[in-house]
Structure 1
Amino acid sequence: MVGAVIEEREARDGSPVTGKGPGPFRRFWSRWPLWSAPAAIAWSVLYGAAHVYWAFGGAGFPFARVPEDRASSSVLDPSPVEVVAPVFAAFCAVAAAVGAVMLHQQRTGRAVSPGRRRALLVFGWLTAGLLAFGVPDYTLIAVVAFAPALVVFAFTGIPGPQGGLEDILYWHRDNLIIVFLGGLLWALATLAHQRRTADRCTSCGRGERAAASWTSPERTLRWGRKAVWIAVLATIPYDLTRLAWYFGLPLGITDEFLKEMQDTEGMLEIGLGLGIMSTLGSLLTHGLVSRWGEVWPRWVWFKAGGPVHPLTAIIPASIVSLALLPGSMMNFRSGFDPEMWGTNTPMFFWGLWGLALGAATYSYHLRRRGECGTCGRG
C-alpha cells in the first residue's frame, strides 16, 4: 500500500526523501502533502476572524465602496459589509471544520467512507475554485506582468502622479491576493486528501496500478504540443490590438479613446510593452515541448549545455497559467462592447491561454519527473 511505503520511508529517514542534497525550498515543497491542510485551516480561521471583525464594524472591509482609483474589479466589489462579512465568516468556519476532518484522516490514516470522501472533495475543490478564480480580478496577472518594474519602483519611486507602491498595491487589491493564496492552499490540501484516500502517493499521485497510457512520454509530448499551440494562438488578439494602438490604429476602440491614450504619457508604451511580453511569453512556451526546455541552449551562454531543472520552467509557467484565469473571468463579467471590444474582448482568451499553458506545463512535468522521492515509483 502506498501509505505504508511512505510511512516506512519517513520513519526511517525522518522526512520524505527528496533526492541528493535538496535545497531548503525543495525540502519545504516536498512536504506539501503534510503542511497544506494545516495551512488551509489556518488561512480559513484567520480570514474568517477578519470578517467577524468587519461584521462588527471594524475598519478596512476590503469589499466596501471606495473611490474608483482604490477599487478592485472583484465580483464582490462593492458589497454590503452586513451581508458579505457574516457569510464569509460562516463559510470560513465550515472550511476550517472540513479541513480539520481532512487533517484528522491524514494523522490517523483511517479509511473514509465513499460518501464522506466525495463530500469533502467536492467542498474542497469548490472552495479552491471560488477563492482562486471566482473572487479575484486581473490583479494577479498585472502583478506578474509588472513584477520587474515594481521591484525598480520600490527603490526609485513610481513615475507620474502616483505617490508610491501603495498607489498600485492598495488594500482592496492586496486582499484579492490573500484570497487567491487561500484558494491555492485549499487546492493543495484537497489534492493531498484525494490522493491519500485513494491510496496513492500524495507527492506524485502514483498508485499500485500501472500509469494511464496518456501519461506516457510519447503521448504527453503529443498533447503537450497541441496545448502549446493553443496557448500561443490565444495571445494573438491581445498582442495585435496593443501593437495597433501604438502605431495609431484604433483597432477595437473609438478614435476618441485612442486620442485619450495618445495624450496620456506612457499609456501606449505600457500597452506595447505588455504586448511584447505576451509575445515573448508565447515563444518561451515552446520550451515546454522542445529540447531547449530540457537542456540550456547556446544563447543562454552562462548555462549552455547544462540540464534545465524542471522547476525552472514549471514554477513560472504555473504562476502565469493560474493568474490568467481570474483575469479572464473578470473580463467576461465586463461584457462585450461592439465599439470598444479591443479593451477587454482579447482578454476573454486569457482563460483558454491559462488552461492550455497549464496543460502544457503538466505535460512537461510528466515527461521530466523521475523516481518519486517519497514512494520510490517511477
Structure 2
Amino acid sequence: MTDFAVASPAPRLPRLRAAWAGAHAPVAGVPRWARTAALIVPFTVLPSSLWRISAVTLHLPIMRDVGPDASGDLPSWMPLELYVVLLSVVSELLAFTAVGLVSTWGEVFPRWVPFLRGRRVPTLVAVVPGALGATVLTALWTWAAVALVIGRNLAGRPLAADAPLSPDTWQGALAIVAYAPLVAWGPLLAAVTLAYYRRRTRATL
C-alpha cells in the first residue's frame, strides 16, 4: 500500500509576522521617546472607540438613553450602530498613522502602494498632514475638556443634565474616563511629527 504525503501549504503566519516586524521596525535615528509616543497614540483613541461600540452598537447599559434622535443627521440607510463601528475603525486607523512616523513605511512607500512602491516618501507628505492633524486634534480635544469643566458642550451651549458626558452619574463618569485620553492625541502626534521632520531634514543635509 502506497502512502501519499499531503503537501501542507507554506505557513503564512511567520511570514506575516516577519513582514509586520520589518515594516514597523524603528528607523535608525528615531529617539526612544518618539518611538514610545508613536506607539501610545493608538491607545489614546482605543478607550473611546470601545466605549462607543459597547454603548451604541452592543447596547450595553453604560450610557444614558439619549432618545430617538440619537442618529442626528445620519442618512436613513446608515444605521447608527454601523456608523459607530466605522467611526471607531477610521479613528483607530488615523491614530495608527503616527506609527509610520517612526517606522520604515513612513520613509519608503510599501510594496502594496501602486506606482509608488519602494520610493522615498517626501518629507512634507508626512509632515504637513501630521502637523495639521496635531493642530486640529489639540484644539478640538482641549476645547472639549475645557467645555466639560465649565459645563458646556462642544457648541458652547450649557451641558444638558442628561447628556452622555455629564459627570452626574457613573455612566457619565465612565464616558469621561473613556474620552479623556483623546486630549493627549494631538500633543503626542505633534511631538512625533516634529521628531520625524528633524530626522528627515537632518538626513538630507
Q: What TM-score, normalized to structure 2?
A: 0.64
Q: Is the contact between residue 250 and residue 258 of structure 1 (CA under 8 Å) also seen in structure 2?
A: no
Equivalences for residues 4-23 of structure 1 within 5 A: none
Q: Deviations over 1:149-192 (max 9, x none)?
A: xxxxxxxxxxxxxxxxxxxxxxxxxxxxxxxxxxxxxxxxxxxx
Contact kept, 8 Å, 1:297 with 1:305, in 2: the verdict is: yes
Is 1:257 matched with 2:66? yes
What are the residue-to-residue correspondences of 1:298-377 with 2, within 5 Å? 298-332=111-145, 333-335=147-149, 337=167, 338-341=170-173, 345-370=177-202
Q: Deviations over 1:55-77 (max 9, x none)?
A: xxxxxxxxxxxxxxxxxxxxxxx
One-letter amino acid matched to 2:31: L
Question: Structure 1 residue 316: deviation in Å?
Answer: 1.0
Q: Distance in 1 between matches of 2:127 and 2:61?
A: 35
Bigger share in helix? 1
* Structure 1 runs of 4+ with >6 Å offset: none
For 1:257, the aligned partner's letter is V
* Alpha-carbon distance in 2 for matches of 1:278, 1:227: 17
1:231 is aligned to: 41
Q: Distance in 2 between matches of 1:280 and 1:371?
A: 28
Which amino acid in 1 is paired with 2:66? F
Q: In structure 2, how many angstroms separate the alpha carbons of the residues matched to 1:370 and 1:285?
A: 20
Query: Of the candidates 93, 96, 112, which is equivalent to residue 283 of structure 1?
Result: 96
Aligned mates of 1:299, 1:349 — CA distance in 2 = 32
User: Do the aligned partners of 2:41 and 2:96 also contact (CA within 8 Å) in 1?
Assistant: no
Q: Hey, what's the Cα distance between the residues in 2 that align with 1:225 and 1:258?
A: 43
What are the equivalent positions in structure 2 for 1:1-378 lying under 5 Å apart? 218=29, 220-250=30-60, 252-254=62-64, 256-257=65-66, 261=70, 265=76, 266=78, 267-332=80-145, 333-335=147-149, 337=167, 338-341=170-173, 345-370=177-202, 378=205
Pairwise CA distance, 1:298: 0.7
Aligned residues: 155
Is the contact between residue 261 and residue 268 of structure 1 (CA under 8 Å) also seen in structure 2?
Answer: no
Matches of 1:292 and 1:243, distance apart in 2: 30
Tell me the CA shift for residue 370 of structure 1: 3.8
Distance 1:326 1:262, change over 3 A: closer
Deviation sequence 1:201-237 (CA, Å, 0-9, x none): xxxxxxxxxxxxxxxx63x432211111221211111
Contact 2:57–2:85 (Cα < 8 Å) also in 1: no
Equivalent residues of 2:52, 2:84 under 8 A apart: yes
Which structure exhibits the higher relative contact order, with contacts defined as CA atoms closer than 8 Å and separated by 6 or more residues? 2
In 2, Cα distance between equivalents of 1:234 and 1:246:
20
Deviation, 1:239, is 1.4
Residue in 2 that maps onto 1:99: none
Return closer, same or farther for 1:245/1:258 CA change in 2, 3 Å cut-off.
farther
Instruction: Indicate if the aligned counterparts of 1:328 and 1:347 stay in contact, CA closer than 8 A.
Output: no
1: distance between equivalents of 2:203 and 2:89?
A: 38
CA contact (8 A) 1:241 1:251 kept: no
Q: CA 1:286–1:371 in 2, change beyond 3 Å: closer, same or farther?
A: closer
| SS of corresponding position for 1:307 | coil
Give the whole-Å Cα distance in 1 for the aligned partners of 2:144 and 2:181. 10
**CA apart distance, 1:259:** 6.3
Max Rg structure: 1
Aligned-residue offset at 1:301? 2.3
* Aligned partners of 2:57 and 2:84 also within 8 Å: no
Counterpart CA distance in 1 for 2:174 and 2:69 is 15
| Aligned Cα root-mean-square deviation (Å) | 2.7
- Measured at CA, do residues 348 and 358 of structure 1 come closer, stay the same or move farther in structure 2, by a change above 3 Å? same
Q: Distance in 2 between matches of 1:259 and 1:248?
A: 17
Q: Mind listing any 5+ residue stretches in structure 1 that lack a counterpart?
A: 1-216, 373-377
Helix, strand or coil at the partner of 1:339: helix
2-structure distance, mates of 1:342, 1:274: 20
Task: Tell me the SS of whatever aligns to 1:315.
Answer: helix
Q: 1:252/1:314 Cα in 2 relative to 1: closer, same or farther (>3 Å)?
A: farther
Give the deviation of 1:274 after TM superposition: 2.0
